[in-house]
Amino acid sequence: YLNYQGEQIEEWAEGMYAVCIQHEMDHLQGTLFIDHLSRLKRSYAINKVKKAKKRDAA
């Protein structure tokens, strides 16, 4: 990443810190959490959201 002075910074991350950094990088690249899921899991998640919306609208 670049710091406030525009200098490139490289660091090593592990565990939850690495997950957080990847999450923020995904935001910058326009990647959603659901984009990381397999086709089957993505379909399952989308269907759950649709069912919840129907339930809440009723």
| Nearest-angstrom CA–CA distance, 45 and 18 | 24
Active site residues: 24
| Nearest-angstrom CA–CA distance, 12 and 30 | 23
| Nearest-angstrom CA–CA distance, 25 and 55 | 34
